[in-house]
Each structure stands twice: as C-alpha cells, then as structure tokens.
Amino acid sequence: MGLTMPEKSMLAFVATLLILMAVIPMAYPYGHFLHLDGSPGVIDGRIPDADPLSKAIYLLGDLLCHQQQDRSFIINGSEVAFCMRDTSFMAGVAAGLLILAFDKASSYIGKSRPTLVGAVLFATTFAEWTLEAALGIDVPEARIATGVVSGIGAAFLFRHKVEPMLFPTA
C-alpha cells in the first residue's frame, strides 16, 4: 500500500523536526539552551536568544513539553527542544510510518487487529508512567523505549482510525 499523502506529510514533518532538534544545539555555543524547565501548555519564555527557526522549534517545545533538563537529551551541552519521552515518541511515529510504508508489514498488520495492536503499543507509555509514579523511580531508558513503542502505535492508530475519519474516501 505504501504511505498515503497525509502519512507522507506527517513523516516529513516529524523527520524534519527531529533533524532540527539534533542540529540546532550544535549550531550554538556549548550549553546555549539550558534551564528550559517549564509547564506544558504555557510559554514560559526561558529560551535564550536564537535565530527565528531555532526559536520557533524551542517555542514549540516550550508550549508542548515540560522540558525538564534531567529528562531531556543533551547535545553540545544543550537541552533539545523536547524531553526524552516526546523526542522518542516522535522517532517512534517516524519508525511506525516507515514500517507501514512496506507492503508486507502493512498487510501483516492489516490482517491482525491493527487498532488493537496500535492501542496496546500506544498504551505502553501510560503503563510505564504509572509504574514509575507508583514505585517512585525514574528510569530514562524505559521512558525512551516506551516513547518509541508508543509512537509506532500512534502511527498504526493514525492509519487505521484517525486518517479514515479525517480523510474519508469518496
């Protein structure tokens, strides 16, 4: 089946965002983007001076993510624009779309219960978050792994549930 136009657009957006998130910290002096901690849904304004594109990426992270430094990837001494879980989720969405691009994988997933598979994969982050909160532990590796797995599940759910609702065929 390959990817549909909405899936190609999503893949291009997520891949571009991930590339920019990796490249921008390297374009500035060591440690330029630090202490961004804030609250999702609020522009906290802790972003240092930067060019408009870099500022836009970090503002997007500021709006959508808590950006806690101890839960973020560090490149060139700087936090990336999104936390580990969110960055890993985006990477998982890209990986999920690439999996769906291959006809064999797509047809196998289509023969199984794609919504159930997507939902179970997507739910891993909620399970990990709940477990970490209940046990009072912090396991960055689990956050990264479940972020990727949940992103793959989100790509499957997008194809099999969201996309048909948003873009019905005639």
Asked if residue 142 has pLDDT above 70, the reply is yes
Q: Quick one: which H or E segment has residue 130?
A: helix 114-135
Virtual CA dihedral for 65, 70, 74, 80, nearest 10 degrees?
A: 10
118 and 96 share one domain: yes
Asked if residue 170 has pLDDT above 50, the reply is no
Length of the chain: 170
Examine residue 140 and state whether it is found in any structural domain, yes or no: yes
d(CA 142, CA 146) in angstroms, rounded, equals 6
Total number of domains constituting the chain: 2
Residue finishing a domain among 15, 48, 83: 83
Residue finishing a domain among 36, 52, 83: 83
70 and 125 share one domain: no
The answer to whether 152 and 121 are in contact (CB under 8 A) is: yes
Region 157-164 average pLDDT: 87
pLDDT at residue 105, rounded to an integer: 63
d(CA 64, CA 110) in angstroms, rounded, equals 32
62 and 100 share one domain: no
Phi, psi of 72 (to 5 degrees): -120, 150
Three-class SS state of 81: strand
66 and 121 share one domain: no
Region 95-109 average pLDDT: 78
The answer to whether 164 and 102 are in contact (CB under 8 A) is: no
146 and 79 share one domain: no
Q: What are the tens digits of pLDDT across the range 26-51?
A: 999 999 999 888 888 888 777 889 99
d(CA 145, CA 169) in angstroms, rounded, equals 35
d(CA 132, CA 142) in angstroms, rounded, equals 9
75 and 92 share one domain: no
- Domain span at residue 157 reads 87-166
The answer to whether 75 and 118 are in contact (CB under 8 A) is: no
Residue finishing a domain among 59, 83, 107: 83
d(CA 62, CA 78) in angstroms, rounded, equals 14
